[in-house]
Amino acid sequence: MSVGLQVSPEWWVAGPYQWRLSLVRTSGGCRWSVPVEAAAGPYQWRLPLVRTSGGCRWSVPVEADAGPYQWRLTLPALPQVMKTCRMMGIQTVAVHSDVDASAVHVKMADQAVCVGPAPTNQSYLNMDAIMEAVRSTGAQAVGGASDRHTQAACFGCSLGRACLCPGYPVMIKASAGGGGKGMRIAWNEEETRDGFRFSTQEAASSFGDSRLLIEKFIDNPRHIEIQVLADKHGNALWLNERECSIQRRNQKVVEEAPSTFLDADTRRAMGEQAVQLAQAVQYSSAGTVEFLVDSHKNFYFLEMNTRLQVEHPITELITGLDLVQQMIRVAKGYPLLHKQEDIPINGWAIESRVYAEDPYKSFGLPSIGRLSQYQEPLNLSNVRVDSGISEGSDISIYYDPMISKLVTYGATRAEALSKMEDALDNYVIRGVTHNIPLLREIITHPRFISGDISTNFLPEVYPDGFNGHQLTAGGQRELLASAAALHVSAQLRAQTFLGTISSLGLPPSLCVCPSPFFPCLPPSACVCPSPSLPQVEVGGESLVVSGEWDLASPLLPLKINNTPRMLQVLQGLQLLFKVRVLSPLAAELSSFMPEKVPEDTSSILRSPMPGSVVAVSVKPGDTVAEGQEICVIEAMKMQNSMTAAKTGKVKSVHCKAGETVGEGDLLVELE
């Protein structure tokens, strides 16, 4: 993840004038202006100092009255950067225009290089001069880049060619971004170039703003944020933290409050700094200050979201505050009703983001379709579902794939996790592929349960991608027994007429054939056909399967040897476990059926998801190398580069820019 800013105590400046100041920062498309009062007396003033880190920066436009003239200058907070570097034993180089030769940061630097005359496009935006200064001085990192720099494609490309920015790895992200869109991690020059291109396009497509930030990337951190609430009367509170470390493609998947990692002192320090930031910019409303936290509980400012976050319900549940209500009161001009000591941590809350995505493809590529059946688990206690869809709604390629926010609450974390497991098992979604299997695996994984998580949780736990739930031998037997008992129940119902079961009967044994076969179990089960308590023998073990057997319901609550289980019976491609129940003769004959030969995908490229073609980079007759980009597919504002699986010559191209493609559509063929 990327590092933004840290707050230093204050910065004292001496001078002969009385200054009128305003503190300005541009971030995420918002521009904040904060009046700063001058200190008494004509010789010094002070202001809160924010030092740059990871490519972000604050600047202070200064206006002063000097005699009959009024003049203005922009004073970046570079002197503190110089002080910090000097304290750490790091030499610094200042670049400046000819009129800034006597600037404070130039005097404080170990070396200084003039990069041109006063106009910014001839000096500070003169990338050739900047890069020559970097090369001639041997600088190993570049800091203090302004918004104008990040707008210039040549700046990012120049840094990429010089392997700087501010030293790999870096995070390239949309300045107006959110939800993981317009974000790329680059570990080398090539990834910087590609990341800059994709992030620029995604930012323009998603936010109408192509500006980017390039920041230092911190590997393996936790993502923890502080909820703040401030009014227009100078009052501000921090409403504890939310842990948001479980992510895919830099977008949050599972959040919880509070965090298992923070102690009381760290929580207080983060909360107080978050409040100081909100007050420094005179913010009024609910907002979120996001941090990255390393293994030693050092925390780094990431960004502030000046809006209501997706994950705000978990804060509401542990504090008892309605954040939307509080925002409305603040907007109306009312003061806050609470003091900091009134804000509790009562219990534990967990949120799972339910997406219309295929979790077996890169932890979630978009899925589209119509919700043919949709049933939220609101029959369970302490379960909250925030959604904007209903049965019959269409999930399209044009918007975010989130279906709902599933939230559970408990007196303890273990209770909240147990509730979440039940809620996921009772959530019915038909018509689109969804990520509930992945969510369930996350919350039941030993690492998550123990709190041993980071933003790299998914790739570390599933280095080869998510392949679904891996059943134990006992779980496999329960699955086969459930399928056999369900089959018996369906057959008995079919043979029942006017309350009487026909004399056709059932075979004494059945073959339950999972696909693929479980290696540790024979694909068979012997069933004792009893309408009330089917007894199934699987692999020499006897299991009693009981339930109401309401075959019209999408949910079948069962008991297997008196252990409660929830069964969802599906048909089609969404099956988590595919099981066939056959008679012994049918099973024997099916063994002679030829197996379908898997398609050779090395010579063809199919779309892994529905979307629109943004660009096609090849034409028939071109020679492509393995890993070379062939085309770009955009789905739900995320761009995905499709690459060649092998080196070869392009035989045919079946798509063009602007076209809409479906999942599995043929894009390009190689000879």
Q: Tell me the catalytic residues.
A: 303
Sheet holding 666-670, edge to edge: 604-606, 666-670, 648-653, 623-624
Cis before 119? omega within 30: no
Judge contact between 549 and 569, C-beta under 8 A: no
Q: What angle do CA 662, 251, 632 make, to 5 degrees?
A: 35
Q: Pick from 591, 586, 624, 587: which is nearest to 605 by CA?
A: 624
Q: What are phi and psi of 211, to 5 degrees?
A: -65, 145
| Long-range contacts, 105-113 (Cβ 8 Å, 24+) | 105/76, 105/78, 105/79, 105/81, 108/79, 108/82, 108/83, 109/82, 111/137, 113/137
Q: Judge residue 495's burial from the number of C-beta atoms within 10 Å of its C-beta, 0-12 exposed, 13-18 middle, 19 or more buried.
A: middle
Q: Pick from 268, 421, 433, 283: which is nearest to 361 by CA?
A: 433
Residues 665, 648: Cα–Cα separation, whole Å: 20
Beta-sheet pairing, 111-114 with 93-96: parallel
Q: Pick from 182, 169, 159: which is nearest to 216 by CA?
A: 169
Residues 55, 262: Cα–Cα separation, whole Å: 27
Strand partners, 6: 51
Residues 647, 240: Cα–Cα separation, whole Å: 53
Per DSSP, the residues of 316-346 read HHHH---HHHHHHHHHHTPPPS--GGG----
Put residue 369 in one of left, alpha, beta given phi > 0 → left and psi -120 to 50 → alpha. Answer: left
Alpha helices in 320-411 (DSSP H): 323-332
In the block, which residue shows the tokens 């529905």? 610
CA-based torsion, 358, 364, 366, 368: positive or negative: positive
Q: What angle do CA 276, 279, 283 make, to 5 degrees?
A: 130
Q: Pick from 537, 529, 491, 487: which is nearest to 508 by CA?
A: 529
Residues 227, 442: Cα–Cα separation, whole Å: 24
Strand ranges (E), 260-387: 285-293, 299-305, 348-355, 357-358, 365-366, 369-370, 373-375, 383-387
Residues 178, 193: Cα–Cα separation, whole Å: 21
In the block, which residue shows the tokens 């990431």? 302
Q: Which two tokens stand for residue 304?
A: 């502030």
CA-based torsion, 517, 520, 523, 528: positive or negative: negative
